[in-house]
């Protein structure tokens, strides 16, 4: 048998970089389509933590097809109350949460770690995971992609997919520095957990001053709170992005002198071992692949937390990429189909924050007062109104050819 014949019958080997949301979702669908999948993750284990995230619209159908919808419905967060505070800590507005739990087909809000764990649980036995390692070099000059890993391994794959997030090093090695594709939206945020010494239960409290927001989110009845500090910053602090010490200093400087429980939050941030700091920004690229290497999820099209659509785009994008690869042996045709079918959906969701990104986080006293007046007119928080963008894509059916 010639080498070419062999390559037609052998399982195609795919390396995915990143084991958060889009990586394991892609691994699941590729494995089901007959690929041999390896996932490399730079963290030593699956990363838990992160603020609660939304799964909406078409992404609900994706998790249903993966069989994890019931598990995610059990993990759904039902908040009872949202309280908005003025700079001096007095109440500006208090709005009841949705009373009904989630039912099949409706949007979900779950802890990011719960979604990552659910995805991991359905692939861990079928897919090779290499934790505590990452891609060092990619060489596409031969028949496949020759990969060297930082840990020293060398292997060859038919395809490589970067699912390594907004600051993707796969993207950087293929397409150049992040600055070329990063669209900064004017905010930075820090997220961490802290002890629930305030007796909060299934509720969110958000303190605001112009250009600053501090929120404490009790997602259950347990002892832990999700703390969130968000602030307007005209220029992105690139220096702080890879330096946790500088991130803590920047946040402490911005919120110095703030009222309510902000001083307690700042001191908890100093001790937090799960601090997640980032800019609110988007990744916008003219193409999502180059040769045998493609990008998925935040690495290719992060929409920013202001849209609440990062995980949904990651899930839908992973599904569509796997479907395109299952249907086309030729990776060039598959990557073209993936882009053609997903780009409109991505564009609509990224456009959700083209105007009015500041609705929830106003930067002027006047805009803040307008927001509070609007909130006071609500008796209950509208359950995230289904927007056309959330479902603006038709899922392909899988037609495995391997
Ligand atoms: C710990 C954590 C906490 C988060 N918290 C929030 C949050 O609170 N709010 C929010 O809006 N979004 C958060 N996100 C981002 C959110 O998960 C994504 O917006 C969305 O789910 C898209 O997922 P993704 O899998 O494409 O990218 P990401 O979730 O960003 O995952 C990328 C994965 O790739 C890994 N990785 C990065 N570089 C390399 C490398 N060189 N080699 C190998 N692996 C690599 C990372 O460790 C991570 O596991 C968080 C992400 C992580 C990893």
pLDDT in tens, 14-73: 999 999 999 999 999 999 999 999 999 999 999 887 788 999 999 999 999 999 999 999
Q: What angle is formed at CA 360 by the lines to CA 262 and CA 384, rounded to 5 degrees?
A: 120
For 114, the domain range is: 3-77+109-181+282-356+385-391
Phi, psi dihedral angles at 231 (to 5 degrees): -145, 150
Q: What gap in Å lies between CA 232 and CA 226, rounded to an integer?
A: 20
Residue 259 lies in a domain: yes
Same domain, 45 and 172: yes
Residue 367 lies in a domain: yes
Same domain, 21 and 137: yes
Same domain, 233 and 271: yes
Atom 35 in ligand 1: residue holding the nearest Cα: 18
Q: Measured in angstroms, how far is the CA atom of residue 389 from the centroid of ligand 1?
A: 22
Give the pLDDT confidence score for residue 382 in this predicted structure: 63
Same domain, 40 and 116: yes
Whether residue 398 contacts residue 29, with contact meaning beta carbons closer than 8 Å, is answered with: yes
Q: What total of structural domains would you count in the chain?
A: 2
Token couple for 366: 């006047």
Give the pLDDT confidence score for residue 356 in this predicted structure: 53
pLDDT band at 402 (very low <50, low <70, confident <90, very high): very low
CATH number for position 129: 3.50.50.60
Same domain, 27 and 61: yes
Atom 49 in ligand 1: residue holding the nearest Cα: 20
Q: What gap in Å lies between CA 353 and CA 182, rounded to an integer?
A: 15
Same domain, 211 and 349: no
Residue among 22, 40, 43, 112 to mutate when testing ligand 1 (max atoms within 8 A of CB) = 112
Same domain, 21 and 125: yes
Residue 397 lies in a domain: no
Residue 400 lies in a domain: no
How does pLDDT run across 248-288, given as a tens digit for each residue?
999 999 999 999 999 999 999 999 998 999 999 999 999 99
Mean pLDDT of 94-101: 67
Residue 351 has what DSSP assignment? G
Q: Is the pLDDT reported for residue 6 higher than 70?
A: no
Same domain, 120 and 14: yes
Q: Measured in angstroms, how far is the CA atom of residue 86 from the centroid of ligand 1?
A: 32
Same domain, 292 and 254: no
Atom 8 in ligand 1: residue holding the nearest Cα: 51
Q: Measured in angstroms, how far is the CA atom of residue 234 from the centroid of ligand 1?
A: 24
Mean pLDDT of 98-121: 78
Same domain, 271 and 367: yes
CATH number for position 242: 3.30.9.30
Whether residue 167 contacts residue 302, with contact meaning beta carbons closer than 8 Å, is answered with: no
Exposure on the CB side of residue 320, measured as CA atoms within 13 A: 27
């Amino acid at each position: 048998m010639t080498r070419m014949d062999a390559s037609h019958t052998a399982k195609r080997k795919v390396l995915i970089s990143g084991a958060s949301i889009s990586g394991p979702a892609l691994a699941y669908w590729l494995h089901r389509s007959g690929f041999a999948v390896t996932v490399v993750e730079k963290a030593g284990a699956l990363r838990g933590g992160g603020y609660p995230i939304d799964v909406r619209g078409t992404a609900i159908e994706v998790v249903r097809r993966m069989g994890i919808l019931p598990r995610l419905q059990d993990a759904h967060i039902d908040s009872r109350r949202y309280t908005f505070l003025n700079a001096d800590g007095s109440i500006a507005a208090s709005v009841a949460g949705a009373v009904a739990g989630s039912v099949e087909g409706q949007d979900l809000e779950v802890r990011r770690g719960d979604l990552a764990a659910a995805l991991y649980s359905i692939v861990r036995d079928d897919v090779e995971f290499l934790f505590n390692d990452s891609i060092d070099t990619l060489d596409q000059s031969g028949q496949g992609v020759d990969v060297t890993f930082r840990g020293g391994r060398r292997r060859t794959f038919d395809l490589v997919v970067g699912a390594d997030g907004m600051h993707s090093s796969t993207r950087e090695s293929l397409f150049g520095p992040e600055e070329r594709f990063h669209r900064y939206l004017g905010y930075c945020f820090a997220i961490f957990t802290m002890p629930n010494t305030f007796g909060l239960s299934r509720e969110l409290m958000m303190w605001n001053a112009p250009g600053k927001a501090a929120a404490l989110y009790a997602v259950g009845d347990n002892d832990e709170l999700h703390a969130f500090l968000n602030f307007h910053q005209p220029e992105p602090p690139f220096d702080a992005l890879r330096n946790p010490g500088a991130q803590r200093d920047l946040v402490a400087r911005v919120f110095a002198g703030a009222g309510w429980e902000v001083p307690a939050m700042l001191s908890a941030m100093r001790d937090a071992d799960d601090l997640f700091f980032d800019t609110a920004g988007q990744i916008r690229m003219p193409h999502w692949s180059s040769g045998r290497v493609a990008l998925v999820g935040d690495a290719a099209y992060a929409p920013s937390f202001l849209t609440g659509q990062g995980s949904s785009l990651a899930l839908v994008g992973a599904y569509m990429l796997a479907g395109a690869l299952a249907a086309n042996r030729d990776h060039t045709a598959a990557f073209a189909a993936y882009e053609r079918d997903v780009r409109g959906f991505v564009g609509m969701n990224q456009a959700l924050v083209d105007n009015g990104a500041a609705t929830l986080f106003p930067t002027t006293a006047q805009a803040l007062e307008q927001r509070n007046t609007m909130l006071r007119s609500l008796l209950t928080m509208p359950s995230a109104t289904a927007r056309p963008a959330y479902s603006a894509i038709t899922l392909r059916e899988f037609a495995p050819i391997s």
